[in-house]
């Protein structure tokens, strides 16, 4: 199993970090988790594309995790030669989001249908709203969902991907909670969104300090990894983005709570799971 960070950024635009998105390559194909800004540009750099995705999994419906859903729907449809519906798994509300996105694209869809004689079908999606339990099983790959805690954003889910003895967990945005512990138990890699509480408190802007009560700090994520005997903790969705030369500060904060391997995400970082 291979893990590729397509976007390690956050809602704050960054010249070097695309929006939150993680690609898991496995026997079932390319599985995409969240689709923040620039996801298909990063996917192209990783040798993937909208048409190559076996499924898209959404952890929650915050805009920074879903910004480029429209691009995936459009490119999967417009670059295909036969109907290839996009399979989407997400929390309750995902179906409404996809429906609204397709409605937003209605004018563009009409333009393309009118212009391309060999494009005779509408974009297609197959959405399954998930809460808890196995949501996908194919080619020896199993994906399990469990509820997380990103209140007042509700519902939110994390995902556990298993192939043979290899396990990756995508936490999404959450504070420590029972659902995340359930998913993370014994995982090879835990991909966890984090914020730097110390920096944010020092800045002091209310709009920024507001994020502290529904995101895990670096230390929170490290304690979750330690409590659940995770092999590697991969820190992503970094708020604020690390300034050049400060990367070791982030990993040191985690290492003080967790004695496993700590990795700070960068776009296109690739991890061979289990190696």
Has 64 been annotated as catalytic?
A: yes
Residue pair 49/79 in contact (Cβ under 8 Å)? The answer is: yes
Q: DSSP letters along the chain, please?
A: -EEEEEE---SS--SS-PSSEEEEEETTEEEEE---TTHHHHHHHTT--GGGEEEEE-S---HHHHTTHHHHHHHHHHT-SS--PEEEEESTTHHHHHHHHHHHTHHHHHHHHHH-TT--S---EEEEE--SEEEEEETTEEEEEEE-BBTTB-S-EEEEEEETTEEEEE--S-BS-HHHHHHHTT-SEEEEEEE-HHHHHHH--HHHHGGGGTS-BHHHHHHHHHHTT-SEEEEEEEESPPPTT-HHHHHHHHHTT--SEEEE--TT-EEETT-
Rounded Cα–Cα distance for residues 264 and 254 (Å): 10
Which structure tokens are listed for 156? 């939110």
What pairs with residue 145 in β-bridges?
Answer: 133, 159
Residue pair 188/147 in contact (Cβ under 8 Å)? The answer is: no
Residue among 64, 173, 188, 267 flagged as catalytic: 64
> Which residues does the annotation mark as catalytic?
64
């Amino acid at each position: 199993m291979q893990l590729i960070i397509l976007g390690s950024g956050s809602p704050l635009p960054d010249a070097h970090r695309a929006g939150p998105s993680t690609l898991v390559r496995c026997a079932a194909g390319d599985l995409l988790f969240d689709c923040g800004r620039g996801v298909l540009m990063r996917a192209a750099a990783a040798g993937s594309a909208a048409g190559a995705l076996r499924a898209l999994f959404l952890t929650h419906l915050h805009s920074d995790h879903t910004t480029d859903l429209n691009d995936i729907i459009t490119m999967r449809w417009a670059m295909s030669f036969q109907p290839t519906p996009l399979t989407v798994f997400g929390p309750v509300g995902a179906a409404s989001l996809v429906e609204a996105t397709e409605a937003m694209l209605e004018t563009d869809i009409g333009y393309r249908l009118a212009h391309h004689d060999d494009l005779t079908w509408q974009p297609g999606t197959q959405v399954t709203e998930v809460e808890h339990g196995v949501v996908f099983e194919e080619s020896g790959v199993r994906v399990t969902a469990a509820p997380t805690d990103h209140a007042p954003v509700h519902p939110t889910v994390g995902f556990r991907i298993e192939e043979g003895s290899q396990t990756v967990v995508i936490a999404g945005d959450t504070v420590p909670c029972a659902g995340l512990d359930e998913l993370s138990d014994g995982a090879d890699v835990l991909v966890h969104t984090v914020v730097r509480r110390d920096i944010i408190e020092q800045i002091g802007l209310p709009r920024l300090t507001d994020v502290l009560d529904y995101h895990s700090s670096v230390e929170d994520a490290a304690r979750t990894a330690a409590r659940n005997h995770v092999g590697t903790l991969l820190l992503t969705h970094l708020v604020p983005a690390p300034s050049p030369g400060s990367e070791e500060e982030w990993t040191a904060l985690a290492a003080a709570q967790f004695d496993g391997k700590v990795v700070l995400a960068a776009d296109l970082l690739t991890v061979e799971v289990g190696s």
